[in-house]
Structures are given as structure tokens and as C-alpha cells.
A and B are shown apart, each in its own frame.
Chain A
Amino acid sequence: MDFNYVIAMLLVALGLYCLLLKRNLIKLIIGLVVLTDGIHLFLISLGYRSGGAAAIVSGEMFSDLPGFAAQAVDPIPQALVLTSIVINICILALALSLTIYAYRHYGTLDPSKLRRLKE
């Protein structure tokens, strides 16, 4: 169970490492995705319960709501992660399309070469 959190933080750390030290736009974007996926894993683990039921109330469960609540997983982190995944797909798509344009203009994917604006 706690293993989840370790992996999540490991992913976050890996993503950060990739963002800080890699010199390729594609790798930077991969780092960003790994970082956010680490956060997603962390969030979803918060609501996880081993052997828990899906938090959908139907039929006979209405009669025993406290009993149901005792074994259902927390649905809020799932909703949050779904939202966040959608957002990150948008960022990923935009980032990759911008990378294509950058390669057309500069002929390289090295972010340290993208510094003509400062001149």
C-alpha cells in the first residue's frame, strides 16, 4: 500500500531530474508527463482501498449506506485525476506541435540553442 507513494514520489523525482538536466525538447516533454503521472498516481492512491467497491450507489445499497461507505473507495481523487489527465493531454499535444515548429525553424531540438530572442 505505501509502496504506491514511494513509486509516485520516485516518478515525480525522475520527471524533475529529466526537466532539469536533459537537453532535448522531446525528453523535456517526457519528463513533464512522467512528473504529472507521478502526481496522478499519488492522488489516486489517496482514495485507494484494497478490495474496495466502486463508489456508485444503486439498488439495495441504499438500505445500508454507512456499511457501503465503509468499503467504497474515495471517488473524488478519481474525478480529479480524470480531469487532470485531460488537461495534460492538451498540454502534451500543444507541446509536441510546438516542438515540430521549433524543429522547422531552428533545425535542432536542443533547448539551449533556442535563445535567439535574447540577442
Chain B
Amino acid sequence: MISHAPILAILLPLFAAFLMPVIGILSRRRGIKRAREWFAIAVVLAEFAVVASMLPAVWGGQVLVYQLGGWQPPWGVNLAIDGLNLLVALIVAGIGTLVMIYSFVYMERDTGLDQYYTLFLLIVAGMMGVALTGDIFNLYVFFEIMCISSYALVAFRRKWQSIEASIKYMIVSSLGTSFILLGIALLYGLVGSLNIADLAQKLGQVSPSAVIVPLALFVTGLGIKIAVVPLHMWMPDAYQAAPSAVAALFSGATATVGIYAMVRVVYTLFGAFAIGIMLAALGLVTMVIGALMALAQRDLKRLLAYSGISQVGYVLLGIGLGTVLGIQGGLFHLFNNAIYKTMLFMIAGAIIYRVGTSNMDQLGGLWKNMPVTATLFVVGALAISGVPPFNGFASKWMIYVAGIEAGQPVFTIIALITSALTLAYFLKALNSIFLGQRPKHLSDVKETPLPMMFPIMLLAVLCVVFGVLPQLGIDIVRPAQEAVMNSGGYISAVLGGA
């Protein structure tokens, strides 16, 4: 492990974000081309290396506790990293790196790229902070860093679409964070602590009726962040209006971070395994409504947004079942969802880059023009629909089996039907974009440029690898699942470890 790796993982993108405008000015003065892009890619690659350096220790069963300023918990703010934190950090760093490489070409026609890369790195810093911190107020602050940068990035192009989407996103999401803040205030009033481990320990001795209100505030606030139906209205707008690279980052990494916060707060902080069944029920509603709404969409990015909502439903279902297999399946699906959802948004971006629209009514017959992109889209669509031998099949299968084992066969049946719906709307998308009649003006559309193709291909390879060798993926998520089930270990590691 690199020494001070936990704090480095947060500080690296944070400082780089504020260096970015300086680098932008320098590169214009000196006439160095693309200095910002290379710098940003170098930063996220370093970030990935820092996170990866923590892998051996955490997978060996250790909980890394890093005390900021040397203050002991529960007084000081600390970073606590167990298997779950690290899985999320890994997804954030990995997806961040790939989307940054993708932005290199995708964003080249935009102006104001200094701000784009600054905000991008701030989002990465915020997500990394949420993923690694062991302090509930710190989690709130990093959430806000992430969210404020996201509002600005959704509005980045300042067209009417982006402004409308950003305002909706901001008002709904700020309401959510206010709920989280109120929940934190109530918890602080109740037991007088902010450290997650210390809070968890002290809340165990408080009567359950006192924690219902804060728990409800947290679940609602975080539910808005991860767009659980019926709190999902902002998400399709935001994903449709944001630049595709940003939408790819949101759907892959930000959604993951939101689910992490939900799991950490509900299971570790409140120890409320009993409300898991409520999460599972919410997950069911979310997946069915998300899939039904996706069927009716005409815009590819909007369709992908609804499908993202639907996939989050699967994750919540698996995690909510609360069994070993369920949580493993849910987290594995979270991991897989980050892979193929990012990839599909990147493909949507590639189509917009070449054609200029993602409205499926105006597209058609692009297979002849973009055969590689079309093949990759098929891989992504099959993976997300849970068709073997792709990764979506492996994780969905685990969730189905977990549903039956937990004595909820109805859940499994609904999940299966939703899978069929998923396949249906992706076939519709495939048909109207890549097959069928090609409008005349699309006849000289070219293939996706290689620097954009590279991250998409890498993700497609991952889809196949984790589909053929699901054991590999399960090995990656097992430490996370053990961490979810073993909140006592987390608490004693944070409070007992000097």
C-alpha cells in the first residue's frame, strides 16, 4: 500500500481540479495542445493506482482506518475502508478513468473545457470521499461536492434542455440532501456522535422507535439520489440533457455511490436488516416501472436512463433480501451495471458524435456505417438483459436464486419478467438505430473514432470476461458482501484500532 493512500485518493482529484484552470492558461500561453486532457487522464490513472494499492490489505480482511490529523475516533474525522468501501472506490476510479479517456475526443468540439475537467475531477473527488469516509457529516459534505458539480455539469452546454434538466435535478436533489442533513442533526441530538461506527454502536442502545424518523429521512434522501421510483423524475431529464460522457459517469459511478451510501447507512449505521424487505419491495417497483417507461421512449439516452433506474431496482432487490447470496448478487449486479451502463451511454455518445442526434425516430440502418459500434451495442444490450454468456446473466441469476431461497418466489418471477421487458426495449432500440431503413442523409456517417472506441471495447471485454468466468466477479464482490454482513467487525476496527 502507498502510505497515506486513503487520503491521497481524495486529495489527488481535489487538488488537480483546482490546478486545471492554471494548466488551461499555461497550455494556451505556451501553445501546448491538449495539456488539460493529458493531465486529467494522468490524474485519474494515478487515482486508480492509489485505490488499487489498497486492495491486498483490504481483501486480506483488514479494515484500514486512517485518522485525519491524528485524532482518535470518535472525536476526529476518520476514513475507514472495508471491502464495501473499496469495491465502490474501485468502480469510481475505474469508470472515472475510462470516461476521462472517452472525453478526450468526445468533448473536443465544446468550449470551456477548463471548467469541464475541473468539475469532472471535483465529482470524482466527491464520489471518492463518500466512498472512503467513516464520518456521517463528512459523507454529507462529499455528497454535496459531488451533487453541486453534477448540477453544473448537467447544465454545461447551457442549451434549453440542459438548463431545464439541471434546475429540476437541483431542486429535487437539494431537497434530498436537506433530508439527509436533518437526519444527521436528529442523530447528533439523539446520541451526540458523528462517527459512523460510534453512532452504530450507540444507536444499538437507543429504543427503536426513536430512530424511525432519522431512518426515514435518510432512506428518502438517498432514495432521491439513486432515483428509486417514485422519486426518479429528475433522472431521465438529467441524463438526456447532460453530455453523454457525463451521463456515462453518472450512470456508472454516481449511482453506485448512492447505493453504497444507502447500504452503509441502513445496514451498518442503523443495523436495520429488518427494513431490507422494504428495500426489496422498492426495488421491485423501481425495476418494473423503469422497464415499462423505457419501452415507451423515443430518445436513446432517455431510454438508457430509464433502464438505469430499472437496473438499480435489481440491485436493491438483491441487497434487500439480506441473505448472503442476495447481497452478493446485488453487489455483483451493481458492479456489472457500472460496466455495461457506462458502455451503453458511451455508445449513445458515439452516435451523437457522428450523427448529431440520439432521437431514435431519426436514426436507422447505421449497422453498415458503424459495424463495430453496432456489435458492441449488441454485447451491451444482451449483457443488460441478462442473456448468457454475458455478465448480466451471472448476477441476475444469483438474484433469482436468492429470491427463491429467501422464500420470495414472486420476487423472482417479477424480476424474470422485467428481464424479458429489458430485452424487448433493447431490441427495439437496436432495430431503430442500427437496422431497418437508413435515411439518405446518414449514408456517409463514419465509424466511431478509435480513442472513443477504446474504453467502450475495454468495457465490452469486461462484460464477456465476467460472463464467462462469473467466479472472478464473485471473488471481487465477496469481501464487500462480507463487510455488509459484518458491521460488528467494522465498528470494532474503527473504535478499537489505535
Instruction: Mark A residues whose CB is within 8 Å of B.
Output: 12, 15, 19, 25, 28-29, 32, 35-36, 39, 42-43, 46, 76-77, 80, 83-84, 87, 90-91, 94-95, 98-99, 101-102, 105-106, 111, 114-118
Contacts and interface: CB of A to CB of B under 8 A. Distances in A.
A12 B194 CA distance: 22
A79 B185 CA distance: 12
A117 B181 contact: no
B151 interface: yes
Given A83-B141, A94-B148, A32 B194 contact: no
Interface stretch (B159-167, B265-273, B350-358): B159-167
Contacts of A28: 171
B66 to A, nearest CB: 20
Contacts of A115: 164
Interface of B: 137, 141, 144, 148, 151-152, 155, 158-161, 163-168, 170-171, 174-175, 178, 181-182, 184-185, 188-189, 194, 237, 240-241
B24 to A, nearest CB: 21
A114 B241 contact: no
A117 B301 CA distance: 12
A99 B158 CA distance: 12
Nearest to B161: A117
Contacts of B160: 105-106, 116
Contact of A102 (B152, B167, B182): B167
Nearest to A28: B171
Given A32-B174, A80-B137, A106-B160, A114 B168 contact: yes
A42 B178 contact: no
A98 B174 contact: no
B171 A117 contact: no
B171 A90 contact: no
B37 to A, nearest CB: 26
A80 B188 CA distance: 11
B141, B161, B163, B189 pick with most chain A CB within 10 angstroms: B163
A117 B178 contact: no
